Amino acid sequence: MNSERHYPMTFTPVLKDYIWGGRNLEKLGRELPDEIIAESWEIAAHEDGTTAVANGYYTGKRLTEVHTDLGLDLIGTNCAWAQERGKFPLLIKLLDANRALSVQVHPPDDYALAHEGNELGKTEMWLVLAAKPGAQVQLGVKAGTTPELFRQGILNGRLEPYLHYVPVQPGDHICVPAGTLHAIMDGILMAEIQQNSNTTYRVYDWNRVGADGKARPLHIHKALDVINFAQVEPTLHPATHISDEGGIRRSLLCRNEYFVTERVEMAAGAIFEGNCDGRTLEIWGVLRGEVVVNGVGVTADATSVTAVQFVLLPAAMGQFTLSALTSSTLLRTYVTAV
């Protein structure tokens, strides 16, 4: 193992100025240009946006370049399927839903591969960081909705009778498998963990127009191919307890074939010990507090991570520690064997 190249990596975000954004990402410490900003791509290796490493050996290098250099040493043998397609497996974002997003759906892997070139499908999860009172997300369909009724609703410009809504508040998590009809409504800041894909099939955009005065395109045929109409009036599920010892409480938020995400709550002074043994990368996001990776104190070989910031631990990095300098809440994401 070349430890010089296998170290905790932080990144410079890539910002996206979609019409539904605002200025609220400034509250999470992002420096924004004058225009509205909808998304901050925190760890990304996609043709539509690639983050650059902000520390250590690879400073200034794009994540795609690091992946080319390290291969499975970066992403791990559990991600061999992604390596075969030349893909980094995950994409990490922050979203400012200052206005409602479109009603949309993402395809599964097999459909994306067949219709979108070498693009991955898009299974994702959300963690609500902040939300206005009464905030909600659109998720799944109402009882009695059929594909034909749904199609007619799209064509008539009146899809609301078929849309199911779920109230959300800060701390809630939402697992969103590919095929889920969904829309993040206004007044929500969230973190998103997803497959490394930027394919969205938009079916309804609230009859609004973009900055050019034109309606954004819809993708009705493809959307109807992949919407899971059996997902009727879903609800949110509580986190599953994993462990609570040594000042560290772990809870499972989402587990699917592409990633696992935990919430890890650490008391000040607590130390998490882990091992990147070559099977999977780990991505940690500090949502509250401050931690040091690979050191008990702030030393030359340690990486300090504060809220809200993400750090990537390469699969071949070996043993590591996360030490909480203050009471902290983190997201931990990794990939299990299929």
Residues 251-264 have a mean pLDDT of 98
Just give the CATH number of 240-334: 2.60.120.10
Check if the beta carbon of residue 313 is closer than 8 Å to that of residue 282: yes
| Residue 66 confidence (pLDDT) | 98
pLDDT digits (tens, 9 = 90+) for 145-161: 999 999 999 999 899 99
Cα 300-63-8 angle, rounded to 5 deg:
25
Q: Do domains 11-226 and 240-334 have the same CATH topology?
A: yes
CATH topology of domain 11-226: Jelly Rolls (2.60.120)
Please say if the pLDDT value at position 1 is more than 70: no
* Global confidence as pTM: 0.96
Query: Where along the chain do its domains lie?
Result: 11-226, 240-334
Residue 299 has pLDDT above 60, yes or no: no
The verdict on whether 202 is a catalytic residue reads yes
Set 202, 250, 263, 332: catalytic member:
202
- What's CA 278's distance to the chain center, in Å? 23
Instruction: Provide the percentage of residues in the chain whose pLDDT is more than 90.
Output: 92
